Structure 1
């Protein structure tokens, strides 16, 4: 397998050259040259593949539908830009001699570019003030910030309160009331939940991770303990600032009618209640993934699919949507939950024996009903 591109090669390609090294690291699995043999087609007229191509070595011939051609040589100014970027493709491309190309998922590249350009001024400003922006890049790389306006981010940064934490110290404890959430700025932390007489480690948090928000969204006690594994620092955001600056732009809610239109377009119900609640009655073809297991079992979800989260009161659904946004999923919460539906609509939505799916251990889903 070819080696990933060097920094020098990346800096020569537009628009890859505006991305940060942190973002290049995220793209690293895709930054591998692919061989193209002489005479082989890279793409044809009308191609719809959502890939951004760059010529790295060799020569290509681009031919438009009207017959006009362009001879492209690696290393030229034209080769430093994407090849026929419009979709559907306006050209066909063939290798004139053995070549190599770079193919990057366009959606991922567009997300990174949008983020970088939206926050570039803020990063430059903070870099000039403190010289320490790596933590901010990692914070903003959290996918929930793709939905947060830069003005909200700026206001949030002004209100964050730094808190130094020693290794072994708990930032928040299971069962306590929640009046704030936190972001991990430095160090490593783990999420622990009490199961019977044992402590179960649910996850290890990375720098930039948000935690403690579930108690705010559900207006319930903390459902886990977060402890620092090594000396570090967290950033505290008060409840009212969380709701105004983060929850409002990130958590989308829909009515039952709006949910029905999304279902017709391929969305799926995601029941975030306990399995016992789900088995009593659930939406047809829904997937049961209890909120407390959502982070662990999210790998079973399809990133190309939209999920409609529901629970009885709507509070667990809000937490689920916020978490899924951090993980890069497209999700909505049923506004005010099942309890707010008129009895006829609730009875029509829920069924006792209709087919559904349960998320099981071992990375699989199981048909139910």
Structure 2
């Protein structure tokens, strides 16, 4: 019997993983095929070794997962674990036995996988999550993050168990610059300020504000470097946090994608963007042809200038900062890949020294082509083919120049806007100082 998607039962089913990640139309189509079953106490939902390609979800009651000799876990329908399919590995590793009268449903794994695969658009890397009525459901908050949507259900279940919820008062510092990284944070509700001191005695600079569902703290966990910013609560904040160890094993390792130098060359030749996230003083002496320098510290400011329709290959000195940069890009729905080992792993002969042209493509433009000497082909015909080949190559180079110039223009435009805002802020500050100075002079004159 089909399930009414607007009923209480439909809302419960909507919370199941991965059904909660499906667009409404896909979810509606699956609900039309759902048949809710009942079972009495002691009945097996499945047994160890079962190879049926099904996802089994508990809706009411409780179920025990066990082997012949050992009780492993008891799952109640009202627990967070019930949002996941019961012991979903095929073949089954355990028995599932009803502890009382239960209600449950079975879904064909291939049908669910097909619905998930249909969610991917050519220019998107992750699924879209519909809103649900339970606004205080922190698991739904997790699933709104593109990185979490890409994780396997088994990882999500372990994250669910390992995630801690905490509340922070207004004004409290959550992450302090130069401290070692210990946790990955998700803002469930509230607002935070990101700030940085360029030097120990310098004035703190406000960089950004974070709100609901934003994350922070991953940079230090991925790179192994100390925290490079401070994060302070602007309001009372509800946070979710995951320890460094769990973050690295459950999120970083299955999320990040690596390619070697040859694969990177092939992707760039097909139109991928190559971004070097080192500082300018590292980039200028030598870098890869066709690369664009966007220092890691300013990457977030330039996200709007990048094209989601192109894969992005990220490179740094040794690969560690590239991992943090790729994580940021993937969280914002870019298809990011990491050049394994970074610049240190590349033969120096493949690197380019500074060029008079600001965006270096590393290729000398030339109309010269060697004349073919194959039998049956005249020198004139050979020359025509050579010139045609040359023209085609030059057109490809020109398109790459134009693409890089456009990207560079967008980056400079974003920097210009940032500088204009900074100028306006400084101008207001200068005016306030002038007003204070005028008041002080009046006070002195009166004295």
Task: Give the alignment of 1:2-151 within 5 angstroms.
Answer: 16-17=24-25, 111-112=126-127, 133-151=136-154
Out of 262, 269, 289, the residue aligned to residue 264 of structure 1 is 269
Question: Kindly tell me: are residues 224 and 105 of structure 1, through their superposed partners in 2, closer, same or farther at Cα, counting changes over 3 Å?
Answer: same
Could you give the per-residue CA deviations for residues 152-201 of structure 1, whole angstroms, max 9, x where no partner exists?
12211210112210111111111111122111112111211123523222
Could you give the per-residue CA deviations for residues 123-178 of structure 1, whole angstroms, max 9, x where no partner exists?
9xxx9xxx655443333212222321222122112101122101111111111111
Partner Cα separation in structure 2 for residue 244 and residue 147 of structure 1: 15
Question: Kindly tell me: are residues 259 and 246 of structure 1, through their superposed partners in 2, closer, same or farther at Cα, counting changes over 3 Å?
Answer: same
Partner Cα separation in structure 1 for residue 211 and residue 122 of structure 2: 24
| Contact 1:136/1:208, CA 8 A, preserved across alignment | no
CA drift at 1:347: 2.6
| Contact 1:135/1:208, CA 8 A, preserved across alignment | no
SS in 1 for 2:226: coil
Out of 159, 163, 180, the residue aligned to residue 160 of structure 1 is 163
Out of 209, 230, 234, the residue aligned to residue 229 of structure 1 is 234
Structure with max Cα Rg: 2
| Contact 1:214/1:222, CA 8 A, preserved across alignment | yes
Aligned length: 255
- 2:338 corresponds in structure 1 to 333
CA drift at 1:304: 0.8
| Contact 1:168/1:229, CA 8 A, preserved across alignment | yes
- State the superposition RMSD in angstroms: 3.1
SS in 2 for 1:284: coil
* Larger strand proportion of the pair: 1
Partner Cα separation in structure 2 for residue 309 and residue 182 of structure 1: 24
Question: Kindly tell me: are residues 299 and 15 of structure 1, through their superposed partners in 2, closer, same or farther at Cα, counting changes over 3 Å?
Answer: closer
Out of 311, 317, 326, the residue aligned to residue 312 of structure 1 is 317
- 2:210 corresponds in structure 1 to 205
Gaps of 5+ in 1: 1-6, 8-13, 21-103
Partner Cα separation in structure 2 for residue 282 and residue 320 of structure 1: 17
SS in 2 for 1:282: coil
Partner Cα separation in structure 2 for residue 224 and residue 217 of structure 1: 15
CA drift at 1:268: 1.8
| Contact 2:272/2:312, CA 8 A, preserved across alignment | yes
1:362 aligns with 2:413: yes
- Normalised TM-score (structure 1): 0.62
Out of 246, 252, 266, the residue aligned to residue 247 of structure 1 is 252
Could you give the per-residue CA deviations for residues 221-273 of structure 1, whole angstroms, max 9, x where no partner exists?
10000111100121221111011111012111111111112112211210000
Query: Highest relative contact order (Cα 8 Å, sep 6+), 1 or 2?
Result: 1
- 2:73 corresponds in structure 1 to none
| Contact 2:124/2:333, CA 8 A, preserved across alignment | no
- Normalised TM-score (structure 2): 0.52
1:170 aligns with 2:170: no
Partner Cα separation in structure 2 for residue 15 and residue 298 of structure 1: 26
- 2:69 corresponds in structure 1 to none
Partner Cα separation in structure 2 for residue 361 and residue 301 of structure 1: 12
| Contact 2:197/2:203, CA 8 A, preserved across alignment | yes
Out of 174, 188, 192, the residue aligned to residue 191 of structure 2 is 188
| Contact 2:277/2:321, CA 8 A, preserved across alignment | yes
Gaps of 5+ in 2: 1-5, 7-21, 29-118, 361-403, 417-447
- 1:274 corresponds in structure 2 to 279
SS in 1 for 2:308: coil
Partner Cα separation in structure 1 for residue 220 and residue 351 of structure 2: 28
- 2:80 corresponds in structure 1 to none
Partner Cα separation in structure 1 for residue 229 and residue 23 of structure 2: 42
CA drift at 1:281: 1.6
CA drift at 1:19: 6.8
Partner Cα separation in structure 1 for residue 349 and residue 214 of structure 2: 39
Partner Cα separation in structure 2 for residue 296 and residue 202 of structure 1: 10
- 2:353 corresponds in structure 1 to 351
| Contact 1:148/1:249, CA 8 A, preserved across alignment | yes
SS in 1 for 2:204: strand
Partner Cα separation in structure 2 for residue 245 and residue 234 of structure 1: 19
